[in-house]
Amino acid sequence: MTKQLFACGLGVGTQNTQGEWLEVFYPHPLLNPDTDVTQALIDATGYEGGNQVLSIPADRLEALSEALDAANRLDLAVIAQQLKRSHRPLVVNMLAEDTVPESLPEVYLKLHLLSHRLVKPHGVNLTGAFGLLKNVAWTSEGAIDLNELTQRQLQARMDGKILTVESVDKFPRLCDYVVPEGVRIADTARVRLGAYLGEGTTVMHEGFVNFNAGTEGPNMIEGRISAGVFVGAGSDLGGGCSTMGTLSGGGDIIISVGEKCLIGANAGIGIPLGNRCTVEAGLYITAGMKITLLDDKGEVVSQVAGRALASQDDLLFRRNSVNGRVECLANRSAVELNESLHANN
């Protein structure tokens, strides 16, 4: 009996002149593929188990396409047929288990799983992924190894062309690999591959979404969603606001934003928010910050560190304009986002 895989993908990628992978595009990544698809890939590649990155010669793609068609996966069969014409290296990534990634193609497959909405942030093991990715030049001719960039620029000039370098980074733009259904992204350079954008999400020009982070949808994002942060449905991140990622000083605390929250312009959080919370514009809440608790009459109840309020619902955080102290009181009016802002169709 064919063993159930955790995930797999048939892709085409870019390598440098040393044969090292720079990036991989998986047009149709699969999570828990059915056994017929798995068997078709095994027959085409000779896969014997475990987590493996395998090459597949073009002359095996016809048989693979026929096997996928027989397995009633015409969508995958068509991709296999298209890849027969590829001049780029092809790869089949077979993951028996969701373990720590050991190669760049494996990291890219997991980033694709996130951006195709097959798993949510923290739903796949990306431990050490950052160190496996190469810092490359993302250009008008695709990914180029930085050590080979000058030669490629010179060649382009000699051919009467200009090679445009759009960024130098470990991560490419999300929309160069997948455009999730039902979203608006005003500036595609500000959303990385590996972001999870739920349907109904709008990312405005100053919004940013990192890898292994994202939104449930619908959401209006005009601020920063750092790595590891997930924003619940109906929440609004105001212009210039920020969420602290684990790698940015959050320690072991996983920062998240609940449903129907509002983080005001230029505000920020270093603690997870529960549902229906509001952070006043310009106020940054951190785990160690001393916050004064008020009752429903505005009387002081106690003073606690910000971490004590993590993940609690219906809170309003504000700074007292008279004495400057940071205060927290119950917020019974949930934030209702303007539905017209989230109309993506």
Catalytic residues: 222
φ, ψ for residue 7, nearest 5 deg = -160, 160
CA distances from 125 to 5, 34, 95, 115, 178 (A): 15, 21, 12, 15, 21
Structure tokens at 65: 């396409």
Contacts of 19 (CB under 8 A, 6+ apart): none
φ, ψ for residue 190, nearest 5 deg = -100, 10
| Dihedral angle computed from the Cα positions of residues 165, 105, 244 and 333, in that order, rounded to the nearest 10 degrees | 100
Structure tokens at 87: 């001049």
Residue 245: name the closest of 262, 268, 265 by CA.
Answer: 268
Contact 4, 37 (CB under 8 A): no
- Per-residue three-class SS string for 31-50: ECCCHHHHHHHHHHHCCCCC
Residue with tokens 């209702």: 336
The rounded distance, in Å, linking the Cα atoms of 242 and 282 is: 10
Structure tokens at 169: 């980074």
Residue 345's Cβ-count burial label (10 Å; 0-12, 13-18, 19+) is exposed
Residue 331: name the closest of 291, 301, 296 by CA.
Answer: 296
| DSSP summary character for residue 80 | H
